[in-house]
């Protein structure tokens, strides 16, 4: 069955099928999410990818849109929880250190990561897991808190002193980790919530970027924002 027929028969409410314009708008809406953002492709292969099949983090699509327009070539990343996000960061930054407690998952991802990524095995113990970041003397431009839920408040507390001036801390599923978000907000970071649909899920979620007060990342291509994959119209250059 063709996608357009499927949408009209099973997706579009009958009250909207009375007008051709309503049908076109609804089909466009569904196509943008399922095809342009590759939600359907991600579900089919059970991994987070964009429409070109490239790995993306398991973040909300608005957060991915924001991060993907930044020039991260010289940036360093420390990540709690490895996965396809590690492949994403590895292809866009200078180095990635990723902490993971699931040894089987480490074994699977190790076969795919580029040479600038380091996977660090850890236990389920909160202090051991969160404290791995203190094994490194340097600070990091980007710290991602996206690992075990019961460790996230501790990870956020550790991240405060380990993020580079001008850098960011990313807290995924922040809508479910209110204490973790409060810790970073009360530490003086600027909180920006990116809420929307995400790969491999039927509902919206929130990925939050916490900016240091001297945030200084530069955009790719010399401008920001970039055109979304779901935005067919060109930007106004004189707007």
Own/partner pairs, 51-56, CB within 8 angstroms, 24+ separation: 51/229, 54/88, 54/91, 55/84, 55/85, 55/87, 55/88, 55/91, 56/84, 56/85, 56/88, 56/199
Residues of the chain with CATH 3.40.50.150: 61-219
Whether cis (ω within 30° of 0) applies to the bond prior to 225 is yes
Tens digits of residue pLDDT in 157-206: 999 999 999 999 999 999 999 999 999 999 999 999 999 999 999 999 99
Tens digits of residue pLDDT in 42-67: 999 999 999 999 999 999 999 999 99
Tens digits of residue pLDDT in 114-138: 999 999 999 999 999 999 999 999 9
Q: Is 69 left (phi over 0), alpha (psi -120 to 50) or beta?
A: alpha
Query: Are 129 and 109 contacting, i.e. CB atoms less than 8 angstroms apart?
Result: no
Q: Is residue 1 helix, strand or coil? A: coil
Domain 61-219, what architecture? 3-Layer(aba) Sandwich (3.40)
The yes-or-no verdict on residue 234 having pLDDT over 90 is: no
pLDDT in the model for residue 227: 86
pLDDT band at 29 (very low <50, low <70, confident <90, very high): confident
pLDDT in the model for residue 145: 98
Query: Are 182 and 205 contacting, i.e. CB atoms less than 8 angstroms apart?
Result: no
Q: What is the mean pLDDT of the chain?
A: 90
The token duo for 41 is: 């492709």
């Amino acid at each position: 069955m063709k996608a357009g027929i499927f949408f009209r028969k099973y997706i579009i409410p009958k009250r909207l099928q009375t007008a051709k314009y309503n049908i076109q708008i609804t089909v466009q809406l569904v196509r943008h999410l399922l095809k342009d953002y590759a939600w359907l492709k991600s579900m089919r292969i059970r991994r987070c990818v964009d429409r070109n099949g490239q790995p993306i983090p398991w973040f909300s699509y608005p957060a991915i849109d924001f991060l993907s327009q930044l020039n991260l070539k010289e940036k360093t990343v420390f990540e709690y929880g490895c996965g396809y996000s590690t492949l994403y960061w590895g292809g866009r930054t200078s180095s990635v250190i990723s902490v993971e407690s699931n040894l089987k998952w480490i074994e699977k991802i190790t076969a795919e990561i580029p040479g600038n990524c380091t996977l660090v095995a850890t236990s389920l113990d909160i202090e051991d897991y969160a404290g791995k970041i203190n094994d490194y003397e340097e600070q990091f431009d980007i710290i991602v808190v996206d690992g075990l839920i019961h460790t996230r408040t501790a990870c956020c507390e550790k991240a405060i002193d380990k993020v580079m001036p001008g850098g960011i801390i990313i807290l995924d599923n922040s809508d479910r980790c209110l204490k973790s978000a409060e810790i970073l907000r009360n530490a003086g970071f600027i909180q920006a919530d990116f809420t929307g649909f995400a790969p491999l899920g039927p509902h919206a979620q929130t990925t939050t970027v916490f900016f240091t007060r001297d945030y200084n990342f530069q955009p790719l291509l010399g401008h920001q924002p970039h055109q979304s994959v779901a935005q067919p119209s060109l930007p106004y250059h004189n707007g």
